[in-house]
Amino acid sequence: MRVIPGAVIGWDMGAALALGAALGISAPAIAELLPALEAVMVRRVNEQIAASRD
């Protein structure tokens, strides 16, 4: 993950691509799916971080 104090700003795409390849997922499928998955994950993790501060 790429983070700043108090928030997640994204995934390490190199690591995500390597993980997908290790799981046997084709590179075009990974490239197609990762941006949408990253956006949801970043939003949800940041919501949890904000909720834990309150």
pTM greater than the 0.75 cutoff: no
- pLDDT over threshold 80, residue 54: no
CA distance 46 to 53: 11
Alpha helices by DSSP H, the chain:
13-22, 27-53
Q: What's the whole-number mean pLDDT along residues 41-49?
A: 94
- According to the model, what pLDDT value does residue 30 have? 92
Encoding tokens for residue 24? 């046997």
Encoding tokens for residue 30? 């990974």
CA distances from 25 to 1, 3, 14, 28, 43 (A): 20, 26, 14, 9, 24
Residue with tokens 């983070």: 3
